[in-house]
Amino acid sequence: MVGANFNYQFIDWEHGDIGEGFDHEGTLSATIFSPNITIGLTDWWNITFSQVIGRRYMTWGVDGVSIHHRDEGTESNFDNAIGGYLGDSRILLRFLALNAGSGPGLRLFLGGGVGIPSKNTLKSDPFFLDGDEKKPHRHFSMSEGIYKAIFETQFFVKRIKNPVFVGGTFSIEQPLGKSEWGYKGSRLVDFSFTAFSKKIKIIGDKSLSKRDMKRIIDPLTEFGATFYPKNKNTLPLYIKGSNYLTPINYLELKGSSQCKSSVMLAALLTPGETKLKCKPSRNHTELLFKYLKIPIKIKKIKNFEIIKIKGRQSFKAFHYNVPSDISSSAFFIVLTLLSKGSKLILEKVLVNKSRAGVIDILNKMGAKITLKNKKNYKGEMVSDIHVRSSKSLKSINCPSKLNSSAIDEFLIIFLAAAKAKGVSYFKNLEELNKKESRRLDWGSKILSMMGVKNKLIKNHGIKIWGQPNLKLNKKYEIKNYLKDHRVMAMSTIAALTLGGKWKIHNPESIKTSFPSFLKILQKDLGSKINI
């Protein structure tokens, strides 16, 4: 590890006449730079080399000068001093006596070493020079010219709240005898205390940076977090925690699992009980809490859920294999449904009821999708998904209660509705326009481009007139969609199943959620895609 310390001091000084016929005044400055390198010898031992480099300089601020008062700097030789920019060198060997690992707990280092003097030192008394002739002389140096023994202790406590690190350093530098010129060095005892709080910068790509984060900022601010800049609701943002978190009662009306989860996770670090009243949404966080045996109470009333969380709970680290993603799977499910004579098996996919609404919706439209080998994995339901192509899909008046469980899959559902017999209705999809792009608007735009009659309706909905025999033979271009990965994937599946020649800009946007998407289509399924 390479590091450095920098220190600058500036002093204005002044005192009256001491018998030379003029007042004394001037400035004294010091610019000190100390690079260092630490090398780990083993898991328990490290060694540090450091070097002081710098300059001390005094200016004389009045007209009268003498051999005792005038400008002087440590870089220049004087009759009583050797000039230069190097100060003392240090070598320290440290032993890690206590280590709590990567989590919270105490870290204790014990160490010792030696300070090695440089030649930039005083050779004689700056006030009473030897000999009869008094010559211009220097009053200070970069080194005392003395070897020193160094003893050091470092201790730090890592916490799960701000300040994240609390600790300090205690050290003693003891002179080993006198300098070559007969000077006795000074003993230095140093104690420093440090409390380090994290201020985290949150960034996002172009599309994510346009999303309104107020729904997250508001509840976390109530807990005690601070966001910078003030009154800014889009990324990038800085967030700083607090030592004095306060439990909250929060009302969430959007049906956003992201907002709900942010409140629940913040509640873990907060003393007391946090209460959350929210619209139903995906329940991954609730299931995880239950699996970790974190005290949580859930009650359903009418169209809301009441969640109560008791904070300051401890739980152990655990291993977790993330199941396959239903949102990514949805594109291949619809690809199979719309491809004649096709079969597909997707293994170990998360089919949580609050997340797998796309399967319910497509099956209501006449799809042949079955779940096999279902099992509970650490609180979540996982299953193999078997899909067969469909000879005919039918329209749907989609129940709004399924919206939250399929919110990320509606673009590909719209594509299935474009091939269904009859008129499909989807409503209360305002959340769809608050994603990386205005997905409801983009779904309508792409359908219109394909020649599929559709209409955006009140209550943030869309009406789609399906065409079971839909075939495309024109050129289509998808651009300016804010690099939304789901718009890109929907367009790709439309091209592969319905025909036509498509040019889709920014294909790299799919890397946001599915980096291997195009590779699977090309190599595993033999799709003709030029990138």
User: Which residues are part of the catalytic machinery?
Assistant: 408
- The DSSP 8-state label assigned to residue 521 in this structure reads I
The residue among 275, 272, 269, 276 whose CA lies nearest residue 242 is 269
Residues 452/465, Cβ–Cβ less than 8 Å: yes
Cα distances from 471 to residues 1, 394, 495, in angstroms, run 62, 17, 10
Q: Tokens at residue 327, please?
A: 């949102």
Pairing of β 461-465 and β 86-99: unpaired
Pairing of β 380-388 and β 368-377: antiparallel
Distance CA(185)–CA(146), nearest Å, equals 6
524 burial via Cβ count (<10 Å: 0-12, 13-18, 19+): exposed
| Count of Cβ atoms closer than 10 Å to residue 403 Cβ | 23
Residues 295/310, Cβ–Cβ less than 8 Å: yes
Cα distances from 265 to residues 75, 288, 490, in angstroms, run 57, 11, 33
Q: Tokens at residue 255, please?
A: 């049906």
Q: Tokens at residue 280, please?
A: 């139903």
Name the residue type at position 371.
L
Distance CA(421)–CA(434), nearest Å, equals 30
The residue among 429, 439, 437, 375 whose CA lies nearest residue 403 is 429
Instruction: Please give the angle made by the CA atoms of 186, 189 and 195, to the nearest 5 degrees.
Output: 145
250 burial via Cβ count (<10 Å: 0-12, 13-18, 19+): buried
